[in-house]
């Protein structure tokens, strides 16, 4: 059995509103820190961080924060577009160190989405994932801060899912559950029917417990029956999720 999830589209317990590492001029201080780090490097080290062709309209210091953010939500080695090179592994200085909540945050789920579609999990959920799939996914400690500056009373880590498979089968899915984006990729509907109508091939996802589909542009999250059961048994709160069609 396979389960699927679309992250919420509005702010709340699974998507707090805020900025990475605080706010600087209505932008995240994380992005500004990455820009400064890039500019401090020699040209050779800048090229190692982001090897791109300067088209005269942009420069590496502006592209680098976006490039880093894409590492957390896309498969390593794939291109994030915009003429940028394939995504390299996440380096030690690149993960955001904190997330400062502007509004809400009194009660957060065990799986939450932050800015730039980055995921974060609390320690109980991280422990379950690492036990079921040791060494597969990447986690980086991130301090969640409340609006008044106090730390949120639970430990979180940003999560970079590192399992991408090709199990989505358009031929075995309901027509109203997805649409073609015109480039051999697909968007699923951001609703219950956008999950329950999807057909996924068991032979393709195999023994995976947590993954994303390569051909799904909107990046829903899929997980095994065993992972879902562990989450439920532990009483952890995650966004609404539904059974997809296992083929």
Q: What is the mean pLDDT of residues 173-200?
A: 86
For residue 187, being part of any structural domain is answered with yes
Token pair 């320690």 is found at 123
- pTM for this predicted structure: 0.93
Pull the structure tokens for residue 229: 């059961």
Answer yes or no: is pLDDT of 185 > 70: yes
Strand partners of residue 113 = 119
In the structure, how many helices (H) and strands (E) does the chain have?
Answer: 7, 17
Report helix, strand or coil for 180: strand
Q: Is 49 among the domain residues?
A: no
Of 12-21, 189-198, 222-231, the range with the lowest mean pLDDT is: 189-198
pLDDT, one tens digit per residue, over 4-62 is 999 988 888 999 999 999 987 778 999 999 999 999 999 899 989 998 765 444 578 88
Task: List, in order, residues 6 or more apart from 76 with CB less than 8 Å away.
Answer: 86, 87, 88, 89, 162
Q: Is residue 86 included in any domain, yes or no?
A: no
Q: Are 186 and 171 in contact (CB under 8 A)?
A: no
- Tell me, yes or no, whether 64 lies in a domain: no
Question: Is residue 89 a part of any domain in this protein?
Answer: no
In a domain, 100, yes or no: yes
Q: What is the pLDDT of residue 53?
A: 61
Amino acid 181: pLDDT:
76
pLDDT tens, residue by residue, 59-95: 788 899 999 999 999 999 999 988 899 999 999 999 9
The answer to the question of residue 190 being in a domain is yes
- For 124-165, write each residue's pLDDT tens digit: 999 999 999 999 999 999 999 998 778 999 999 999 999 999
Say what the pLDDT of residue 56 is.
47
The number of distinct structural domains making up the chain is 1
Domain of residue 139 covers 1-21+96-247
Task: Please indicate, yes or no, if residue 173 is contained in any of the structural domains.
Answer: yes
Average pLDDT over residues 197-221: 94
């Amino acid at each position: 059995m396979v389960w699927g999830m679309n992250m919420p589209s509005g702010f709340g317990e699974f998507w707090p509103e805020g900025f990475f590492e605080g706010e600087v001029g209505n932008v995240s201080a994380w992005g500004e820190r990455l820009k400064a780090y890039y500019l401090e490097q020699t040209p050779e080290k800048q090229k190692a961080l982001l090897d791109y062709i300067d088209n005269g309209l942009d420069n590496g210091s502006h592209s680098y924060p976006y490039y880093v953010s894409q590492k957390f939500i896309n498969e390593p080695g794939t291109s994030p577009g915009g003429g940028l090179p394939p995504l390299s592994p996440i380096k030690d200085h690149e993960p955001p160190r904190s997330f400062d909540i502007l509004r809400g945050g009194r009660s957060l789920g065990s799986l939450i989405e932050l800015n730039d579609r980055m995921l974060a999990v609390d320690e109980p959920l991280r422990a379950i994932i690492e036990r079921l799939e040791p060494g597969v996914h990447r986690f980086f400690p991130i301090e969640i801060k409340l609006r008044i500056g106090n730390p949120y009373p639970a430990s979180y880590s940003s999560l970079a899912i590192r399992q991408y498979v090709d199990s989505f089968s358009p031929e075995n899915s309901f027509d109203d559950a997805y649409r073609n984006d015109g480039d051999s990729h697909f968007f699923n509907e951001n609703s219950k029917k956008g999950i329950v109508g999807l057909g996924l091939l068991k032979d393709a996802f195999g023994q995976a417990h947590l993954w994303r589909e390569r051909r799904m542009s909107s990046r829903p999250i899929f997980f095994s029956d065993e992972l879902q059961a562990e989450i439920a048994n532990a009483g952890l709160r995650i966004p609404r999720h539904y059974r997809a069609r296992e083929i």
